[in-house]
Amino acid sequence: MTEFDNLVNTLFRELRSTSAAQPVSAIVRDQEAPASAVMDLASARDIVLVPVDDKTMTELRQHNPGYVKATIKAGTYPKQDKDVPAIAYSTHVVAACDLPEDVVYRMTKIMAAHIKDMAAVVKPIEGLTAKDMAADIGVPFHKGAAKYYKEVGAM
């Protein structure tokens, strides 16, 4: 028997309804914190957030420069009394290479000008800048986006 014999791929709502006596060793979740699914699970059973260490973060970034280290602040989830270093990545807008340069340029410019409006819907992007948007994540930029970022000194 290995540690993977009881590996289960399930939905969060199903985990919440399982018996607290049924152990769950680990869950990987890609959602901004606080995630409603994690809050729901934490209301039904004790959870522990596993911190990412610097060595692991460095290794992950070698495979995907889009990964960044983030912090899930203490008190984000029930019984979480310490900050927890975590893996994060930015939201990306992917445009077809054949989309006209001027269209992507205008899209990028409009998004950069309306960060506050977008943050009203997605709080973690509050304070985002054009320089943040132009961060190298290992994927080439569309010519229209690159034009805007260069124009504003973000690249």
84-89 and 67-72 beta bridge pairing: antiparallel
Q: Give the pLDDT confidence score for residue 78 in this predicted structure.
A: 87
> Which residue bears the tokens 């001027």?
102
Task: Supply the pLDDT for residue 29.
Answer: 59
Residue 35: predicted pLDDT: 79
Name the more confident of 108 and 5.
108
Taking the model in full, what pTM does it have? 0.64
Domain ranges of the chain: 12-89, 101-151
87-136 confidence digits (pLDDT tens)? 888 778 889 999 999 999 999 999 999 999 998 988 778 888 999 999 88
CATH number for the domain formed by residue range(s) 12-89? 3.40.190.10
- Whether residue 7 is predicted with pLDDT greater than 50 in this model: the reply is no
* pLDDT given at position 4: 46
Query: pLDDT digits over 18-45, tens only?
Result: 555 556 555 665 667 787 778 887 887 7
Task: Find residue 69's DSSP bridge partners.
Answer: 87
What pLDDT is attached to residue 3?
47
Res 126: pLDDT? 85
Provide the pLDDT for residue 137: 81
pLDDT score recorded for residue 12: 52
Judged on CB neighbours under 10 Å (0-12, 13-18, 19+), 79 is: exposed
pLDDT digits (tens, 9 = 90+) for 40-99: 878 877 888 889 999 999 998 888 888 888 899 999 888 889 999 998 887 788 899 999
Closest CA to 92 of 128, 63, 61: 128
What is d(CA 147, CA 155) in angstroms, rounded to the nearest whole number?
Answer: 9
